[in-house]
Structure 1
């Protein structure tokens, strides 16, 4: 793939680290969030800055090497790492600079949402971000960016003001509303197809303490509560996001409503009262808490290294048939730890952006559905994946053909095209302009058109 001479020249121009098989850091460096992924790259370039990223792109292109880009490494498909190729690892590039006067933040591509929130909350500010702190800002934003603040402030990509991108030919481009506008459009939902984003500039919002926590109902109340939740969540004010999850955790199966209300707490109490009273909760932890506490609700469950399999789509209609089907399947199959059917709350500000304004087009969906199976013993992989597939087949009649690309598995080109819908053709044209050889193809790939 490359000569020792060319590798030596490449290594000499790096400020960061070059990690190869045999290096004591190698096994740790190649691990990603999903423990189901076990890939062995030829080179891992742990970049210290933009110059390293440019050098890595040029070296990989000139030596015709398969190339993966790692931000947080959280993607369920494991596209952040590859066999035999180059991993451009941004994990050391994680600085976040906040301008509290302008209410903006610029963050490097290796930052996680935990790091980002830590910096912005020092000034009582935040933007829509992932609900697991170890998730990278890069992958989540490029795929759209669902999070607890999305109903009030839109998706992460709706709050993206500009981005610096290393293209496939090794140029550093600044993409924004007035420069490389087509690329800026594509970055807001088009995934990692267009280059290595080395920094993101976000709009921030005033976010102080929120009303947040979990309301847990016994499984036998799930049908009644979910039917109420359907209408209540659709009519709810923008300040509230409430996700309803059928969950099989360490304490058995239940229905969990995870809540974040980012308005005045006294108003939030009135808004949440109906969902609290529609059944008899086993647990109710909702209280006025720091925003970062809500962002950590899932930290203990989503520990790196556990094995994951996901299936997802946007909900077409959360009617009684859909509710009955998912509850009956969940109750009858009695899955052990950890299984979930998560109904994520959309609408609000997400729906007030035109479908053609960014690459993310699913603006009218009120909910997204994620079937998630997680386990620890590799010997149980086939049985767990089979459960997830059967579960998804049960709810599939009630779902749209497209999905949130950050939740897509390796499901083929047709699913990718369906997920972008009418925006796919425009994305393919932009891909041809910025990456005509499909150098960046380890992603939910959009082929040059």
Structure 2
């Protein structure tokens, strides 16, 4: 029998690994494949979604089973090769790229099924290589439930969940990790590579308790290779939802700058008022305000409302237009990669079809991202900076795909205490994502400088970053930004901005489960000094 929390599938470092003898592309004895340079899949599997990043690994290992994942990691360590783990490949920075090392690719492990946790209780099991779309289609069609995760269909569950993923149902159903009960993780502890199961109900003093907790928002690539997530008591999605998409023309906003200010004030004030843990009326409303650059043509407000009576949605939309001279129209072209091709401002449709409609991952381009949690309504400094930078033109730059996306947040998310899960931001009312996209590598420096300038201007009052426990509350680990510091620096800001007071316990888990720092990247959890 395996020890509690540890699978019998384990190989001590130093033993021969069965995956080591695989030839390029040949199935391994444990079901996996090694993809070497020269294989037609190599270039694709060496590069993730963001075209800014590519690498030349020694090989990519497509894990085929539990035993294969254990053996593949052990083989990499025996060869002295650094491993990185990739699921969907959507990391915003280059954390899953790996020159001369090994990329452990989980994308063929994408099952979603009913299962049992290690105590025998029923769960829904999601493998680490599953995408959001795998999760939604399987859970809904087979079991009539869903996970309150993100809208981008091709994002991998492996990284999305471990960072505390959220989506359009999170205000009514919480974060992904609020439903998590167990993780099955390939770890390297005491020189042994093994499959460890860590459960929410493990004794609080056990090492497994820290390992489970670390995966409730501690970020991907820090503690091991997550093969499976187990969820319990998943919510049923609403049978139908209303989708709304309205826009304000930049041509009108430039004539009436006060309308831009009022729109942002209206949005921020509404969600500051209606996002607390006791909110009842608007818990089922999720809205996204896309403040595009002026060259895009329009500012867009997307909304999803989960009840049959559209009156609260109409009241929300009226609140957004209060005091504006410019009138909203039906959205007519894409903003931030999303276009609802409907001739009306709102439309009711089955939830699953609505989820299909709102699931773009965008084109494969070069991109840069920043983020912030917002605890209160926007200040004049915030709004002035949005206006200044989104109306600024830069000769030679195409900024039509540059925007500040403001997502509603809170409600059920804010029912939890900051230390209950590793993700600590539990009283925010909005989450912001700063985005810019382009295709020409020669434009890298210009786009990075533009987004950095915008971000620093917005948070000028707190030294250019969304400081914790102020109007803002740090940044989101799943939208990583190396401008917030890197692990090789002394006291980098990301440790505080992503994790707040929870960072000490994450470092404790790191010491226990990865004392040799096998799993590391530019913003990983560092070992205690």
Task: Tell me, in whole angstroms, the C-alpha distance in 2 between the residues paired with 1:337 and 1:273.
Answer: 25
Task: Tell me, in whole angstroms, the C-alpha distance in 1 between the residues paired with 2:201 and 2:180.
Answer: 13
Offset of residue 267 of structure 1: 5.1
Task: Tell me, in whole angstroms, the C-alpha distance in 2 between the residues paired with 1:331 and 1:232.
Answer: 25
Q: Give the TM-score normalised by the residue count of structure 1.
A: 0.91
Q: SS state of the match for residue 125, structure 1?
A: coil
Cα distance 1:272–1:396, how it changes in 2: closer, same or farther (>3 A)?
Answer: same
Structure-2 residue corresponding to 1:117 = 136
Structure-1 residue corresponding to 2:513 = 434
Deviation string, structure 1 residues 273-321 (Cα, Å, up to 9, x no partner): 4246435212254322233444455655612x21111122222541233
Paired residues for 1:71-82 under 5 Å: 71-82=87-98
Q: SS state of the match for residue 73, structure 1?
A: coil
Q: Give the TM-score normalised by the residue count of structure 2.
A: 0.78
Indicate conservation of the 8 Å contact 1:18/1:46, yes or no.
yes
Is residue 226 from structure 1 mapped to residue 246 from structure 2 by the alignment? no
Task: Tell me, in whole angstroms, the C-alpha distance in 1 between the residues paired with 2:65 and 2:366.
Answer: 31
Structure-1 residue corresponding to 2:240 = 209
- 5+ residue gaps, structure 2, are 1-13, 116-120, 203-207, 254-258, 275-281, 332-344, 469-473
Offset of residue 6 of structure 1: 8.5
What is the CA RMSD across the aligned residues, in angstroms?
2.5
Is residue 140 from structure 1 mapped to residue 184 from structure 2 by the alignment? no
Is residue 164 from structure 1 mapped to residue 176 from structure 2 by the alignment? no
Is residue 406 from structure 1 mapped to residue 434 from structure 2 by the alignment? no
Deviation string, structure 1 residues 340-360 (Cα, Å, up to 9, x no partner): 111121111111110010110
Cα distance 1:300–1:362, how it changes in 2: closer, same or farther (>3 A)?
Answer: closer
Indicate conservation of the 8 Å contact 2:399/2:436, yes or no.
no
Please say which structure displays the higher CA radius of gyration.
2
Task: Tell me, in whole angstroms, the C-alpha distance in 2 between the residues paired with 1:299 and 1:244.
Answer: 16
Indicate conservation of the 8 Å contact 1:209/1:262, yes or no.
yes
Task: Tell me, in whole angstroms, the C-alpha distance in 1 between the residues paired with 2:147 and 2:20.
Answer: 42
Q: SS state of the match for residue 426, structure 1?
A: helix
Cα distance 1:77–1:265, how it changes in 2: closer, same or farther (>3 A)?
Answer: farther
Structure-1 residue corresponding to 2:226 = 197
Indicate conservation of the 8 Å contact 1:105/1:202, yes or no.
yes
Cα distance 1:297–1:412, how it changes in 2: closer, same or farther (>3 A)?
Answer: farther
Structure-1 residue corresponding to 2:351 = 291
Task: Tell me, in whole angstroms, the C-alpha distance in 2 between the residues paired with 1:300 and 1:376.
Answer: 18
Task: Tell me, in whole angstroms, the C-alpha distance in 2 between the residues paired with 1:199 and 1:165.
Answer: 7
Deviation string, structure 1 residues 359-396 (Cα, Å, up to 9, x no partner): 10011121222211111122222211121111111112
- 5+ residue gaps, structure 1, are none
Task: Tell me, in whole angstroms, the C-alpha distance in 2 between the residues paired with 1:407 and 1:161.
Answer: 24
Q: How many residues align?
A: 443
